[in-house]
Amino acid sequence: MSLGGEKSFKMRMRDMENAFKYRRIPYPKRSVELIAILAISCTFFLFMHTNKLNSRLKEMEIKLQPSEFSALGLTGNQISPRESSRRDNINTLHGTYQYLKSTGQMQSLNALELNNTRKAELGIVFFNRVPKVGSQTFMELLRRLSERNNFQFHRDAVQKVETIRLADDQQQELAEVISDLPEPSVFIKHVCYTNFTKYNLPMPIYVNVVRDPIERVISWFYYVRAPWYFVERKAAFPDLPLPHPAWLKKDFETCVLSGDQECTYTQGVTVEGIGDHRRQSLFFCGHAYECTPFNTVGALERAKFAVESQYAVVGVLEDMNTTLSVFEKYIPRFFEGVRDIYQSSAEYLTKINKNNFKPPVSEKVKNIVRHNFTNEIEFYQFCLQRLHKQYLATHIPQKILAP
């Protein structure tokens, strides 16, 4: 083969090799579309996942940053997830701290002045419990604490008709019964605040718990309609008549929206008895007639005064960590170890108050009800802010609180 022919042959072989190397393999049209869709889907998924992951990393970065709050020894466990999204809200622990700091009131916090336990003249805790505030849980905690901390546990017997606002002679009788208990003891009863000094008797250590007023009325509405409630009541009092089926089937939203009298909360209306579940402040205001009209300024101010001057601690159901910490700090003789007991049995203790027959209620309906609960809501927020002040007074280093 000549040199030119050999060269021409090599060039043809190279061209053929390149043709095979770079040739396009045809694909069906549908396959191409499928591959394109898959590629776009994967890209979109990766974008969304990366975006979500980036947001979570930013949230974690914020939480892990050494904030002023954490530097003061207030750990993240003491701020609920709901609080973390509303840190400047005055009704959160963090919000209360920021408000007190910005207004120069932080230095005026004094744990001794905020602790009415020192005013008590009896080594007896009187828990005049408000219904539907998780009081069953707190009763169980006190029962267990009585074994741990060596004090006696007493509760009033279940009654056919619960009377919470007592006549003067009944108030005196109640005060005498509690005063005669051995020290240390706990006594628990659904009843309004009673002034023991009025009968020349020593004052006990008053405690109580409150709850968001709207959530509380909803809880009560379904509590008295729960099947097990009637089983218990019928077992204790066989002659009690059963309620009408139509009443049992009533739901809260329809009750509010239809203007049903049971769910119409009118300013100044007075309804006697424990069935008037709307008045949380009544349990702090006292037995006076002025305490009975619903959502009035007079009842609000009386209730606030009693909390501030007479109650060692008023806990808040929605803020259990802070509540239990303050109970333990301000009344250690009775509440030492309460957080350990609660944490070790939280699942069981939570179930005590759980009502599986209570359906969710829309925010629209809750907001309708809130319009009529202005003073009750103010009282709840007052108790919450006082609880936060008590917590901060015992957890913020004294060198910061010192004037």
> Known catalytic residues?
190
Q: Strand pairing partners for 205?
A: 125
> Is the separation of the CB atoms in 186 and 208 below 8 Å?
no
For residues 317 and 133, the answer to whether their CB atoms sit within 8 Å is yes
Burial degree of 230 (CB within 10 A; 0-12, 13-18, 19+): middle
311 class by beta-carbon count within 10 Å (0-12 exposed, 13-18 middle, 19+ buried): buried
Between CA 130 and CA 358 the distance in angstroms is: 19
DSSP 134-192: SHHHHHHHHHHHHHHHT-EEEEPPP-SS---S--HHHHHHHHHHHHTSPSSEEEE-S--
Query: Tokens 């009654």 appear where?
Result: 159
CB 266 within 8 A of CB 372: yes
Dist. CA 165–CA 262, nearest whole Å: 21
* Burial per residue of 269-300, b for 16 or more beta-carbon CB atoms within 10 angstroms, e otherwise: eeeeebebbbbbbbbbbbbeeebbbbbbeebb
Residues with Cβ within 8 Å of residue 386, at least 6 apart in sequence? 114, 307, 308, 314
Q: Give the CA angle between residues 284, 375, 84 to the nearest 5°.
A: 95
